[in-house]
């Protein structure tokens, strides 16, 4: 009996290392739900814009390209993914306050890896088909393309990037893959992140003057920005923001200060954006087009401002959501469920619809408007089909609706475990 008690005590001590402090923990943060929905909505508009910008590479381009559009899109470019990573970190803190480590790994793997596997095998291939056709590297029907796509020895894709498997990559679903990877890494770091020294450091930083706190928090982002390869810099930046999100969690002082300084954040963000537009048009556009940097010091200042805007933009939209949107609604549950299916479907729809619309020469106004409308309508139609089908729901990150017999549930868990193991193994190894 004494051994069992000691074992329980030891187990409880280990469990406590992975459980964050629950002081002042709210039941639900509706503002974060609304913000997540809004940012994923912006993502659809942003990727629609990628079809039209002149100097930023993408899978396929319209005949109507605009450099002016780039100046609008760089307003959200620095902070759009930062917000999602911060929310992801906060969400992990909420989850780890309620479930065990094993439960967390199981939930996260089923929710992320099944949609990822389905996405890269079913949703992403049309993007590659359109891209290769647009580039003149492919002249076959889509069904012939699929035969080559799933062949083990096809030479059709020699010039195209390998990913999880040869020529099979995550494409726009990189966020799901990284979210799963970073969740496991963050899990390993929880004993450190939950420790008293780290909590004291976070408290100290949050209680500093806003200028000091933001400067210190921006420094790691700036260092990563200038030292990491620009093609892959989104990965360490994403993980850093996820760490930030976990650490701020439901920290009362942080959210009070952010909300109270909304006007200041708005003003400073607008100034930072104006500086970014100036640097983009005067310096970075020339570099994008193959020119060489002429003033390293000014370039470094511009990069610091860009890193600063990542944080300022995120804090500003957090403040807006916290102050005005921390309330439940009948639409919230529906839209929350729609986020993941919309995210998985949207880019393929943009590429396929946009490529076919470009054949009709509709003009630089009608075509993009029609592309946005058709993409959003198609996403809603797709979601309506998905949410009513218990076979499709898990493939898009949603729970099943019906309460099935125990035997069917067990079969589902076994099949899901096999599929998640396959994709998880490929990602990690």
Transcribe 19-47 into DSSP letters.
S---TT--S--HHHHHHHHHHHHHHHHHH
The mean pLDDT value of the chain amounts to 92
DSSP, res 52? T
Residues 6+ apart with CB under 8 A from 124: 169, 170, 171, 172, 173, 348
The verdict on residue 3 lying in a domain is no
The verdict on residue 153 lying in a domain is no
Domain extent at residue 108:
22-145+162-428
The verdict on residue 376 lying in a domain is yes
Q: Looking at residue 155, what is its pLDDT?
A: 85
Q: What mean pLDDT do residues 23-37 have?
A: 94
Query: The pTM is what?
Result: 0.95
Output the six-digit token pair for 249: 């969690």
* Residue 3 confidence class, pLDDT cut points 50, 70, 90: low
Q: Which residue has the tokens 């309620």?
A: 98
Q: Tens digit of pLDDT for each residue in 143-181? A: 999 999 998 778 888 888 678 888 888 999 999 999 999
Q: Looking at residue 5, what is its pLDDT?
A: 45
Q: What mean pLDDT do residues 80-85 have?
A: 97
User: How many separate domains does the chain show?
Assistant: 1
The verdict on residue 7 lying in a domain is no
The verdict on residue 307 lying in a domain is yes
The verdict on residue 14 lying in a domain is no
The verdict on residue 10 lying in a domain is no
Output the six-digit token pair for 289: 């087009």
The verdict on residue 170 lying in a domain is yes
Whole-angstrom Cα distance, residue 144 to residue 230?
Answer: 35
Q: Is 377 left (phi over 0), alpha (psi -120 to 50) or beta?
A: alpha
- Number of neighbouring beta carbons within 10 Å of residue 41: 16
Q: Looking at residue 10, what is its pLDDT?
A: 54
Whole-angstrom Cα distance, residue 1 to residue 10?
Answer: 14
Report the share of the chain in percent with pLDDT over 90.
78
Whole-angstrom Cα distance, residue 135 to residue 132?
Answer: 5
């Amino acid at each position: 009996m004494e051994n069992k008690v000691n074992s329980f005590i030891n187990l409880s001590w280990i469990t406590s290392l992975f459980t964050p402090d629950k002081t002042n923990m709210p039941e639900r943060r509706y503002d974060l739900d609304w913000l997540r929905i809004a940012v994923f909505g912006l993502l659809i508009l942003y990727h629609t814009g990628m079809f039209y910008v002149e100097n930023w590479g993408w899978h396929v381009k319209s005949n109507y390209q605009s450099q002016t559009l780039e100046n609008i899109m760089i307003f959200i470019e620095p902070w759009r993914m930062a917000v999602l990573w911060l929310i992801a970190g906060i969400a992990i803190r909420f989850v780890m306050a309620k479930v065990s480590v094993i439960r967390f790994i199981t939930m996260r793997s089923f929710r992320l890896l099944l949609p990822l596997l389905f996405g890269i095998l079913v949703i992403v291939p049309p993007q590659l088909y359109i891209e290769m056709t647009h580039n003149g590297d492919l002249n076959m029907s889509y069904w012939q393309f699929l035969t080559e796509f799933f062949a083990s020895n096809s030479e059709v894709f020699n010039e195209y990037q390998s990913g999880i498997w040869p020529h099979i990559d995550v494409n726009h679903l990189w966020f799901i893959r990284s979210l799963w990877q970073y969740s496991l890494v963050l899990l390993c770091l929880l004993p450190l992140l939950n420790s008293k020294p780290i909590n004291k450091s976070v408290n100290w930083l949050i209680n500093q003057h806003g200028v000091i706190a933001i400067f210190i928090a921006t420094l790691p982002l700036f260092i990563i920005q200038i030292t990491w390869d620009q093609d892959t810099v989104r990965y360490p930046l994403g993980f850093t923001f996820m760490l930030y999100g976990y650490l701020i969690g439901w920290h009362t002082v942080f959210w009070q200060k952010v909300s109270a300084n909304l006007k200041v954040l708005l003003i400073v963000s607008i100034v930072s954006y104006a500086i970014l537009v100036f640097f983009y048009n005067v310096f970075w556009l020339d570099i994008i087009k193959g020119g060489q940097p002429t003033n390293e010091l000014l370039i470094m200042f511009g990069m610091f401002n860009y890193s600063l805007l990542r944080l300022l933009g995120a804090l500003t939209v957090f403040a807006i959501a916290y102050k005005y949107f921390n309330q439940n609604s009948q639409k919230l549950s529906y839209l929350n469920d729609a986020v993941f299916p919309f995210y998985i479907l949207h880019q393929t729809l943009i590429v396929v619809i946009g490529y076919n619309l470009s054949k009709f020469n509709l003009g630089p106004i009608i075509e993009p408007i029609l592309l946005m409308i058709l993409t959003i309508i198609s996403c809603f139609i797709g979601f309506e089909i998905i949410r009513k089908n218990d076979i499709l729901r898990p493939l898009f990150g949603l729970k099943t609706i019906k309460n099935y017999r125990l035997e069917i549930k067990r079969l589902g868990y076994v099949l899901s475990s096999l599929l998640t193991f396959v994709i998880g193994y490929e990602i990690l190894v």
